[in-house]
A = this chain, B = another copy of it.
Amino acid sequence: MVQLIECVPNISEGRRDDVVVAVREAALSASRGVLLLDSQSDRDHNRSVFTFLGDGPSLVAAMAAMVAEALARIDLRSHTGAHPRLGAVDVVPFVPLRGATQADCVALAKELGARIARENALPVYLYEDAAVSEERRNLSNVRKGEFEGLAKKMSDPGWKPDYGPSEPHPSGGATVVGARAFLVAYNVNLGTADLRIADRIAKAIRHIGGGYRYAKAMGVELTERGIVQVSINMTNFEKTPLHRVFETVRSEAERHGVPVVGSEIVGLVPQAALLSAAEHYLRLEADPRPQVVESRLLDVAFAQLEKKS
């Protein structure tokens, strides 16, 4: 099976189109094994988010080229924008999609971190699953103080970077590199207008409330529809699957005499997150993924791409 990893770099430029294009193209032309799935720029945030896909070595090569280009073109000393940021290339997470593990992505984060630090005299922090201490796991902790407070932050030995010099890159600040699971935004709608019920169920299923390890949740009012919603972030759908959370919401709602009227996935979702629901409910005796036509097709298409490039 072809290895597929997602890499979602966030750069601190969302207004100058020529810069956004140059940075993006630097990644694409550095490696033939990398595909661009999505590209979004936000003028208010003055920030762009790219979704690249490829195998590990191709992504590392592409990101190294992208970082160099971004550092040459973006100067945070004159940067304004609504979104918090620490660097010209602010954050680079690797996400395993297929044929790759979380550990593979941690290794890629470390490889890329060491390389861009060395090649650009750039301080690099590792976060989430690649973090070397609990304190650095959470991105907002690492980014606290932002670019403007970075020199002061780095004077604290506790914030010595994982790679690179112990002071900020003059124009590029620092970059945060890491590995995380694919995040699925999943909402379950309840046939009631009583927000307290959604809140109570959210509390029951979320990790901090005693619920599932990889679920974050809160109650939300859908005022137009006159109903409420349990809004969930599934931070690891392999270990905490959608169908298990759905069944718990359903069971908790029933106890209040409230039906589940529907559910929705916001944004992209890996095929595997939905196939595991089918596998569960149809009581399939084997993981159906290897039998899915589209999976075979992806392998064939990528093999062709490699042959032609």
Contact = CB atoms under 8 A, between A and B. Distances in A.
Contact of A301 (B189, B264, B278, B302): B302
- The count of identical subunits is 2
A273 B53 CA distance: 26
A259 to B, nearest CB: 10
A36 interface: yes
Nearest to A277: B278
Contacts of A282: 242-243, 246, 263, 274, 277
Contacts of A36: 300
Contact of A264 (B246, B269, B286, B292): B286
Interface residues of A, number: 53
Interface in A61-75: none
B262 A284 contact: yes
Interface in A265-309: 265, 267-271, 274-275, 277-286, 288, 291-298, 300-302, 304-305, 308-309
A121 interface: no
A86 B243 CA distance: 49
B308 A294 contact: no
A269 B298 contact: no
A30 interface: no
A139 interface: no
Given A35-B300, A277-B277, A283 B270 contact: no
6 contacts: A182-B293, A261-B283, A277-B277, A277-B278, A294-B294, A304-B305
Interface of A: 4, 6, 35-38, 53, 97-98, 182, 189, 242-243, 246, 260-265, 267-271, 274-275, 277-286, 288, 291-298, 300-302, 304-305, 308-309
Given A6-B293, A53-B300, A263-B284, 4 more contacts: A261-B283, A265-B286, A277-B282, A305-B308
